[in-house]
Structure 1
Amino acid sequence: MDIEVFRRKKRQFTIFALVMVGITLLSSKMTDFDFIHSLLSIPEAFKWMASNLFITSESLEKMPSIMDKLFETIFLSIAATTTASVFSLLLALLGSQTTKVNNIFSTLSRLIASVFRNIPIVAWALILLLSFGQNALTGYFALFLATLGFLTRAFTETIDETGKASVEALQATGANYFQVVAKAVIPECSPQIISWILFMIETNIRSSTLIGILTGTGIGFAFDLYYKSMNYNVLSLITISIVAVVIAIELVSNYVRRVIL
């Protein structure tokens, strides 16, 4: 019996692998993508980076302005994430099966989460550019709306996974809706909620670099400016600064997760 199950799983995996290979070859054919050429170009790419992307004393003079733009990006990401998390928690409480008020609000909350989450953040930025123009407000709203959709879904699933024993115990004592949420739901879900917020801060800092290119703000604008002027020395400094900040924030975030979880 075990041998037959193993053979069936092996056969399914083989079929799946062949289908994926076929799709990959078909996609490369339709897009004129050459695997051999791409592999042969890798050494040349590294050679170009070694000869162009290095930091000089002149590029280090730009460090103060780069740090200003970088901090602008970080604070914008944090502001968008924290404000979106508040609204996401409210929508999640309405959408969760554990804390929903009625089916109408629950369906509406899940619909908002689904729509906002499935629209890419770049699409939000392009849409908002038509209304607000190239400024920090456009970047903020793009991050806010994308984060709202993602965190609403994440918070809803987190609340749904909450043990209903404590909720039912409080309801049995005559506690109202707000008391149940404050005394049972939030305390039990808070570690996971904080973890999701930290995750989105990391994600939004990376995303806001791309958003900055579109909105003309933050470190993304500086990256685009020096890239178009072909000042690759400063560009390499910007890239290293972004990577260093993202890694530092990720390390802090992981430490906080280990403490609270």
Structure 2
Amino acid sequence: MKTKIHLSSTRERWTLSLTAVALLVFFIFCVNQLNLETGKFFQRFWEAGTVIQRFFSLNFSDTTSILQELFTSICMAIAGLAIGFILSLIFSFLGASNTAPHKFFSVLIKSFIGIIRAVPALVWILIVVASLGFGNTAGVVGLVFPTTGYLTKSFMSSIEEQDPAILEMMRSTGANWFQTITEGLLPGLVTPFLSWTSIRLESNIAESISLGMVGAGGIGMLLVKAIGKYDYPMISTIILFIFVTMITVELLIGRIKKSLR
């Protein structure tokens, strides 16, 4: 018995060692492929202090415009979340393996959601901007895609983790598909669904800011203009407002989740 345990531990050590060596070799290969200019980086790194000093000054002369565009970004995030949430509810119950009316629906929806999740949000917004033009509409539509992909995947995971006995009990009583969902599963899914949605709201606000930088409207457009003019005080001011907004949203979501529990 001791010999077997010793051999097993030796095999595990060898496996871990080989894995570590393989990962190290792969890391070196990736760095070599990137042709990183490390010499230039360290040369410019010591000059970064002069640039950083310029960010320590603030400019509150255009606070009204900053607040208006920041509010626009938040509205886009909420609108994209609302539309994505409704679509995700439908797709998740049709796509989850234990609630899908037919296996074909589950495979089709999971494949569709996989494609949406594989494409970054920035790519979706660029496609939408090219189709609809610049503006808030492109921002909302662009956010619907990653929101739907994220929430549908999360919702389906929560649905498939539910106790199979609930579904069996509802079906044994003669409940139809809709009753099984609304009366059997939904009461136990409210908390996880709200948790996933709150996490996605924070991501939507962050993405709405970055998407504005490619012409989708909101505070991102002001930030791009400030960067283009090398207006360091304005850049710092916008970043400060974004930081305060994100912290405030996170605290509010935490309070809401606690009150619901």
TM-score normalised to structure 1 length: 0.91
Per the alignment, residue 148 of structure 1 pairs with: 148
Q: Distance in 1 between matches of 2:10 and 2:243?
A: 45
The share of aligned pairs that are identical, in percent, is: 24
Conservation of the 8 A alpha-carbon contact between 2:125 and 2:216: no
Amino acid at match of 1:17: A
Paired position in structure 2 for 1:137: 137
Letter in 2 for 1:27: C
Q: Which residue of 1 aligns with 2:23?
A: 20
Superposed displacement of residue 253, structure 1: 2.5
Shift of 1:23: 2.4
Q: d(CA) in 2 for partners of 1:8 and 1:259?
A: 51
Give matches, 1:1-261, under 5 Å: 1-35=4-38, 38=41, 41-49=44-52, 51-56=53-58, 59-260=59-260
Aligned residue pairs, count: 258
Q: 1:46 to 1:190 in 2, by over 3 A?
A: farther
Q: After superposition, give the CA deviation of every residue in 1:114-157 in whole Å (9 maximum; x if it has no partner).
A: 11111111111111122101111111111101111111111111
Contact between 2:138 and 2:216, CA under 8 Å: does it hold in 1? no
Q: How far 1:254 sits from its partner (Å)? A: 3.4
Return 5+ residue gaps in structure 1 as ranges: none
Further displaced range: 19-28 or 212-221: 19-28
**Per the alignment, do residues 8 and 179 of structure 1 end up closer, same or farther by CA in structure 2, a change over 3 Å counting?**
same
- Please state how far the C-alpha of 1:220 moved relative to its aligned partner: 0.6
Q: 202-211 or 38-47, which moves further after superposition?
A: 38-47
The amino acid across from 2:22 in the alignment is V
CA–CA distance in 2 between the matches of 1:28 and 1:166? 52
Report the Cα offset of residue 204 of structure 1.
1.2
Unaligned runs of 5+ in 2: none
Q: 8 Å contact 1:117–1:147 — kept in the other structure?
A: no
SS of 1:54 mapped into structure 2? coil
Letter of the 1:54 counterpart: F
The worse-fitting range, judged by mean Cα deviation, of 210-219 and 244-253 is 244-253
Residue range with higher mean Cα deviation, 226-235 or 38-47: 38-47
Deviations 1:60-102 (A, max 9, x none): 1211211111111011101101210111110110011221111
Contact kept in structure 1, 2:129 and 2:216, CA below 8 Å: no
User: Aligned in 2, Cα 1:11/1:246: closer, same or farther, shift over 3 Å?
Assistant: farther
State the 1:260 CA deviation. 4.5
SS in 1 for 2:47: helix
